């Protein structure tokens, strides 16, 4: 799932486990509620997409209790995704100043 595995008590909530599973398998990708519903129910007798919000809320509470808060990100109007904040903090940023870079040459003035 992630570099460090979080153990959460999903108990008899198989749907919650399936949601965590699909989000983890597609870590970093936004999954729409419809895509999650399709994974859970296979297109058969799918409930209202709002049920995904309820499941995500329950999962977040369990993750928080396990010390893994802020793992599931909401992309409003698009869906949900798992992000590993530690990975993004460890990656060098693209805007970080690089070492050993020569300064740009100075433009010569018209005088000379």
Query: d(Cα 35, Cα 31) in Å, to the nearest integer?
Result: 6
Give the structural domain span for 62: 21-85
Structure confidence at residue 10 (pLDDT):
52
Q: How many domains does the chain have?
A: 1
Strands 79-82 and 72-75: antiparallel
CATH number where 51 lies: 1.10.10.10
Q: Report yes or no on 90 lying in a domain.
A: no
Query: d(Cα 57, Cα 28) in Å, to the nearest integer?
Result: 19
Q: Report yes or no on 14 lying in a domain.
A: no
Per-residue pLDDT tens listing for the chain (112 residues): 444 555 555 555 889 999 999 999 999 999 999 999 999 998 788 889 999 999 999 999 988 888 887 889 999 999 999 987 766 555 544 434 444 444 445 555 555 5
Q: Report yes or no on 1 lying in a domain.
A: no
Q: Report yes or no on 54 lying in a domain.
A: yes
Q: Report yes or no on 33 lying in a domain.
A: yes
Q: Residue 2 in contact with residue 27, Cβ under 8 Å?
A: yes
């Amino acid at each position: 799932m992630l570099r460090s595995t979080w153990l959460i008590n999903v108990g008899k909530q198989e749907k919650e486990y399936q949601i965590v599973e699909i989000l983890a398998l597609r870590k970093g990708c936004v999954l729409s509620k419809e895509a999650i519903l399709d994974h859970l129910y296979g297109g058969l007798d799918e409930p209202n997409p709002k049920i995904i919000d309820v499941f995500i809320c329950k999962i977040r509470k369990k993750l928080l209790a396990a010390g893994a808060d802020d793992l599931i990100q909401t992309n409003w109007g698009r869906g949900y995704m798992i992000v590993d904040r530690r990975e993004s903090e460890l990656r060098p940023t693209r805007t970080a100043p690089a070492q050993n870079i020569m300064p740009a040459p100075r433009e010569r003035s018209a005088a000379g």
